[in-house]
Structure 1
Amino acid sequence: MYIPSWPCLTSSQFSFRENLRPVPFPLDEASRKYFYVARNGIYHLFRALGLASRENVLVPNYHSGNETSAMRAAGVNIRFYPILRDLQPDFEALERLCGPETRALYVIHFMGWPQPMNRLVEFCRARGLLLIEDCALSFLSEFEGRPLGSFGEYAVYCLYKSLPIPNGAVLVENRGRLQHLEDLETLNPARVSVLGRSSELLLESFRSRFPFTGAMLAGIKAAAGRMLTALSIERERVGNIGFDLDKVDTGMSSQCHWLLAHFNYELIRNRRRANFQWLEHRLREKVNLLPLSLAEGICPLFLPILVEDKKAVAADLRRRGIGVVELWNEGDPEANGAESEDALFLRKHVLELPIHQNVSEAQLDYIAREVTRRVRSTERLLVPFAAPVAAENQKSAIEPVTLRA
């Protein structure tokens, strides 16, 4: 069996018979700007803000590193604040780190789960800080009925992580317009980049149904990619770690714009929630899970588990055809100080299991069986809830669900 890490494209999604559908926030916002990848939008946002050399931005010490590279390229001074093992910010540290030169608070919503937005909004309001939401991993998620990304002055989303599109990110301005962004004209991406990534997404869908033949075709596709590299044919990449200032003006492809108008977003959200519930119910009490309850409005990107030897378990599960994701093994080198113990724990032990909208019940069952054969719950990796969880949320997180075929 083969389960892709990310959502896949199918030929039916290119059918013009599909009706246009309502799009969710922020795709319906007038003040939005599309980019090839989210780090491009982050760079241009901070260029547009024009922070003074003495000013700084508070950034979580649990991050990918792409966003901090983009900020530094834009001239931002970063001060890292701690994220605890339950993915919540350390408010005592935030209070201590926030000084008269602090201009903005950068908040990352992790894997679809919101940060405590009411408290963070009040924190920023009381200190006159800009609030910037990183929703790269949390498209379609809500907090108390409001979309993530609608609380702060600005928000950025990485669309291709949640949707089967070859590239695409969006930056939204919720309050006021920045002239630099108004004047910015993005460039069309190279056609070879769009076609190459689109073929990968289609191939992943084929491989999930026909693993052996799909693996052969994937090998051919990889060989073609190596040939293009040998011929020095440049492609713009997605999903990699790094920041390329030469590609920072690249926008989202026209193919992605077309696809965004045709997805059934409610179905995507519901399927991801159902898949999360199903797999969590099977794994609970057998492996260590992060203390994440599936409150109303959350659209999970993965099901994160905690493992002792992340590299070995990931390699073993991939050999069994399961597209696990090792998110954020490393980050900004300056974020590894004394207050980063919990962030380093997360980097070392959190392994993400696929529960996206293309994963079937049979595939979830296969994931559960393979994971429980290789991973055991241990006291050392136990991360308790920071606060009591509402009874209805506890119930929704552990009840089994029946998935539609």
Structure 2
Amino acid sequence: MAQTADLAQQRAPAPGGQPPAPSTPPAGHPPALPNYPRARIPTKPVLSRASFRRAAGHTPSILDTREARLVTSGRVAIALALRQMGVGPGDRVLVPSYHCASMIEPVVWLGATPVFYRIHADTQVNLEDVAAKLAGAKVLLATNYFGFPQNLTALRAFCDQHGLMLLEDCAHCFLGEHNGQPVGSFGDYAIASTMKFFPIYEGGCLVSARHSLAPVRLEAGGFKFEAKMAVNALEDGFEYQRLRTVQRLLALPLGLKNFLLGQLKRRSHGAPAAMAPRSSEGGFGFDPAWLHKRGSLFSRMMLRLVSRSRMGALRRRHYQRLQDALAGLPGCRPLHAALPERVYPWVFPLYVDLPETVFASLKNDGVPIVRFAEYLWQGVDATVCSASVDLSRHVLQFPCHQELQEQELDWMIDKIKAALLAARAP
């Protein structure tokens, strides 16, 4: 029974910082997925005219900390944070058993050993289990799941007591506060995934309220990268019937772009050289080629132009509509019984008794579903953390982002209700 699920079989980076070519698919990566139809409503925010509407007031966010670096993804930010903490070969990093593989990849790439700790059924860190696994540990990575902060005051005190550095994972929690302080301000470093909250194609950030980020130097990604990030964000909006006038105006140049890319792919006998990080394309892997690339100009502009107050208010409103509509239905329960003040969710997590039946039904209907932690890292099973395994199997997440339209939210709620009832039918 491997309590820590130490991954001794994972290899350290090769000289020069490049990971070795694996002989088998890396642990934690999913098998081939069924060919489900495209989601009929956007899983994440897409660009529209409404994206630029303002809302009154100030909504706290991770960017309220002292210093920030805008990068291309949350996993890149994790790698940069660990480097700033001096993590390298032979070090041990405490990571949650409830995780996405992309959270663990940077740890392994640096040659460190991920040591998996338990969480409680409500996703809070099990500090008793962490305390039992402190030997040789350098960093505690703690995740604010689905936009609901951990007890960050307690985590900070625990880390100070035991000489640990705290990496606050706000990939799900760009907005919000705990005990009057913005998320991201409790860790030695904190990271976020801005593309989960803004209508952009790539984006993450590294922040620190305690340390200078002057050593983190970033460079531009180049013209092709900049162009692709702007065009892809526009095309995501077009796909869901936003910005129709802009789409008509750009029809000819975008058609030419698609033609030229098709020609390039045929001539290269496969995919052309990557112009975007794999995180934007839906992969789990960590690509060190993007480690020192600055987030695109388009994404950085959106972080300035998009109203965080509007984002926060609508996310809370949409979350509450889902909570009210689905609470009390047979075969499911909201993971959280209530939405606390100053919490701004990433998604709406729903615990489902018959998840596979409901999931397949909804995916076939084109309902957007996120299954965070569906594939846990190799060796992480119920002997490591039964709560993590249970959550990974039973919790389905539905979008509540600010760019959902009322009719889209109504349609999704109706589909979820129908799938839940059908799953329990004799």
Which position in structure 1 is the counterpart of 2:405?
Answer: 360
Which position in structure 2 is the counterpart of 1:299?
Answer: 344
* Mapping for residues 326-405 of structure 1, pairs under 5 Å: 326-336=371-381, 338-376=383-421
Letter in 1 for 2:85: L
Asked if structure 2 preserves the Cα contact closer than 8 Å seen for 1:23 and 1:261, the reply is no
Which position in structure 2 is the counterpart of 1:109?
Answer: 144
1:227–1:45 Cα change, 3 Å: farther
Match of 1:42 among 39, 64, 78: 78
Letter in 2 for 1:93: D
Letter in 2 for 1:125: D
Asked if structure 1 preserves the Cα contact closer than 8 Å seen for 2:73 and 2:204, the reply is yes
Which position in structure 2 is the counterpart of 1:89?
Answer: 125
| Large movers: runs of 4+ above 6 Å | 223-227
Which position in structure 1 is the counterpart of 2:47?
Answer: 9
* 1-structure distance, mates of 2:123, 2:175: 19
Percent identity reads 27
1:26–1:353 Cα change, 3 Å: closer
Letter in 1 for 2:84: A
* 1-structure distance, mates of 2:67, 2:394: 39
Instruction: String of CA shifts for 1:111-162, please: whole Å, max 9, x gaps.
Output: 1001111221221121121111000111112222221111111100100101
Which position in structure 2 is the counterpart of 1:31?
Answer: 67
Letter in 2 for 1:152: G
Q: Which secondary structure state, in structure 2, belongs to the residue aligned with residue 206 of structure 1?
A: coil
* Mapping for residues 209-358 of structure 1, pairs under 5 Å: 229-230=265-266, 231=268, 232-236=272-276, 237=278, 238=280, 239-286=282-329, 287-336=332-381, 338-358=383-403
Instruction: String of CA shifts for 1:262-309, please: whole Å, max 9, x gaps.
Output: 111111101110111111111001032213421111001111112345
Asked if structure 1 preserves the Cα contact closer than 8 Å seen for 2:319 and 2:348, the reply is yes
Which position in structure 2 is the counterpart of 1:399?
Answer: none
TM-score (norm 1): 0.80
RMSD (CA atoms): 3.2
Asked if structure 2 preserves the Cα contact closer than 8 Å seen for 1:329 and 1:348, the reply is yes
* 2-structure distance, mates of 1:144, 1:291: 19
1:291–1:24 Cα change, 3 Å: closer
TM-score (norm 2): 0.77
Aligned length, in residue pairs: 365
Instruction: String of CA shifts for 1:332-390, please: whole Å, max 9, x gaps.
Output: 214336122221111111111111112233332222221111115999xxxxxxxxxxx
Which position in structure 1 is the counterpart of 2:218?
Answer: 185
Asked if structure 2 preserves the Cα contact closer than 8 Å seen for 1:107 and 1:132, the reply is yes
1:240–1:259 Cα change, 3 Å: same
Asked if structure 2 preserves the Cα contact closer than 8 Å seen for 1:288 and 1:378, the reply is no
Instruction: String of CA shifts for 1:296-329, please: whole Å, max 9, x gaps.
Output: 1100111111234534433422333322222221
Q: Which secondary structure state, in structure 1, belongs to the residue aligned with residue 173 of structure 2?
A: coil
* 2-structure distance, mates of 1:234, 1:306: 37
Asked if structure 2 preserves the Cα contact closer than 8 Å seen for 1:62 and 1:331, the reply is yes
Q: Which runs of 5+ in 1 are unaligned?
A: 210-219, 380-405
Letter in 2 for 1:203: F
Which position in structure 1 is the counterpart of 2:169?
Answer: 134
CA drift at 1:33: 1.0
Asked if structure 1 preserves the Cα contact closer than 8 Å seen for 2:59 and 2:312, the reply is no
* 1-structure distance, mates of 2:310, 2:121: 31
CA drift at 1:249: 2.1
Letter in 1 for 2:345: P
* 2-structure distance, mates of 1:32, 1:149: 11
* 1-structure distance, mates of 2:423, 2:361: 19
Match of 1:64 among 85, 95, 100: 100
Asked if structure 1 preserves the Cα contact closer than 8 Å seen for 2:45 and 2:402, the reply is yes
Asked if structure 2 preserves the Cα contact closer than 8 Å seen for 1:4 and 1:322, the reply is no
Which position in structure 2 is the counterpart of 1:397?
Answer: none
Q: Which secondary structure state, in structure 2, belongs to the residue aligned with residue 66 of structure 1?
A: helix
Which position in structure 2 is the counterpart of 1:394?
Answer: none
1:92–1:36 Cα change, 3 Å: same
Asked if structure 2 preserves the Cα contact closer than 8 Å seen for 1:36 and 1:168, the reply is yes
Letter in 2 for 1:188: G
Which position in structure 2 is the counterpart of 1:176?
Answer: 211
* 2-structure distance, mates of 1:366, 1:154: 40
* 2-structure distance, mates of 1:56, 1:80: 10
Asked if structure 2 preserves the Cα contact closer than 8 Å seen for 1:46 and 1:76, the reply is no
Letter in 1 for 2:96: P
* 2-structure distance, mates of 1:207, 1:313: 29
1:198–1:83 Cα change, 3 Å: same
The structure whose residues are more often helix, as a share, is 1
* 2-structure distance, mates of 1:44, 1:83: 25
Which position in structure 1 is the counterpart of 2:18?
Answer: none
Instruction: String of CA shifts for 1:9-53, please: whole Å, max 9, x gaps.
Output: 0156589xx99x989544355521111111112112222322364
1:193–1:372 Cα change, 3 Å: same
* 2-structure distance, mates of 1:344, 1:131: 24
CA drift at 1:246: 2.4
